[in-house]
Amino acid sequence: MTPRRSALGRSTVPVTELAFGAAGIGNLFTPVTDAEAEEAVAAAWESGVRYFDTAPHYGLGLSERRLGQALRGRPRDAYTLSTKVGRLLRPAPGRGGDDLADGFAVPATHRRVWDFSAAGVRRSIEDSLERLGLDRIDIAYLHDPDDHAEQALTEAYPALAQLRAEGLLGAIGVGMNQAGLLARFIRETDLDAVLLAGRYSLLDQRGLTELLPLAAARGVGVVIGGVFNSGLLADPRPGATFDYAAAPADLLARALELKAVCERHGVPLRAAALRFPFGHPAVASVLVGTRNAAEARDAATMLDHPVPAALWTELKDRELLPPGVPTPEEAH
C-alpha cells in the first residue's frame, strides 16, 4: 500500500507517512556502495515513499551527493526533499584518516564548521544544492542547534524565514534529539515543522510532555526520527544499542517485554514501533534510516502491517506505555 501523504504543518509541502532517512547511504558507521545507495532509494520509491531527508553532516556530503544522483531522473514535483543547515563543510587538505569519530566511514576530506549565521545559512543551502544537483530544496531544518540556540534563533531562523518568503524554500524547521529546545523554537518563531529524533518512541515519550501538544496547538508538523532508538526496538537482544550506546539492562528488559506483547498479537515489534507515533495528531511522518533495498522494503512492509487496538490496550494494562499516551486505534 502506498504510504499516505499529508501537508507538513501549515505549509503546502506534502510528506508521506514513511520518510527515507539518508544518513545510512552517507556511510553511517559502515561503508555502503554507490549501487547499494541507488538501490535503497529505488526500493523506497517503489514502496511509495516520496519524502527523502539528508544533511551535509551525513558522510561529509556523501549522502547529499548520492541522494541527489538517485533522485535526479525522477519527476521533481513527485517528491519532497529536506536537508539541513548549521554545519558548513570546509576542505581539509592533508588531514588524512577517516571520519569515524563523527560516525561516518568516509575519508576525512573536509571538516565541519558550526555556523548558524545568516550568511552561513545561505552558503549551506547553496552548497547543498550543488552537491544534490537538484533545482530546489523543499524543507530546510536547523540541524542540532543545541549549543548555538541564541544564534540559531536570532540569525539562522530569520534567514530561513526570508528564503521561505522568497519562495526558495517551501517549509522550514528545526531538527534535534531533544524536545525542550524544539518547544522553545515553536513558541518563539513561525516554524512549519520540527524533526524530533529518539524522544517519541515506545521506550521514550519525553516529546509528549510539552512539544507535541504545543506543535498540535500551533499547527506545526512533526516528523519523528529514531523510532527504533538506534536499534533496541528493531532487534532487542544483549548488546543492542539505545541512543548509539549499549542498552542498559532495564531498557533491554522493557524492550523484550514489548516484543513479547507484540508477538502475542501477531505483530512484529518493528511494526508497532513505526505505527506508534501516529497516535498523536501532530505527527505527519516517521523517518527511518535506510542503507539498502532490503531495509527500505522492510520499513514499508512494517508500517503497513495491521496493528490491532488490543495491542495498545495490553501495553497500557501492563504499564509498558503510560495510560495517557495517545495510540493509534489500528493501522490503516
Biggest alpha carbon–alpha carbon distance for the chain: 59
Q: Which amino acid is at 35?
A: A
79 is catalytic: no
- Given the DSSP bridges, would you call strands 5-7 and 14-16 parallel, antiparallel or unpaired? antiparallel
3-state secondary structure of 227: coil
The rounded distance, in Å, linking the Cα atoms of 192 and 82 is: 13
Q: Are 70 and 324 in contact (CB under 8 A)?
A: no
Residue 48: all three cell numbers together: 511509495
Neighbours of 184 (CB within 10 A): 16
**Cβ-count burial of 256 within 10 angstroms (0-12 exposed, 13-18 middle, 19+ buried)?**
middle
Catalytic residue selected from 58, 79, 141, 157? 58
Q: Are 196 and 224 in contact (CB under 8 A)?
A: yes
Q: Are 187 and 175 in contact (CB under 8 A)?
A: no
- The CA-to-CA distance between both ends of the chain, in Å, stands at 9
- Given the DSSP bridges, would you call strands 171-176 and 139-143 parallel, antiparallel or unpaired? parallel
Compute the C-alpha angle 332/295/172, nearest 5°. 70
Q: Are 325 and 279 in contact (CB under 8 A)?
A: yes
Q: Are 135 and 171 in contact (CB under 8 A)?
A: no
In this structure, what DSSP letter does residue 28 have?
B
Residues that are catalytic: 58
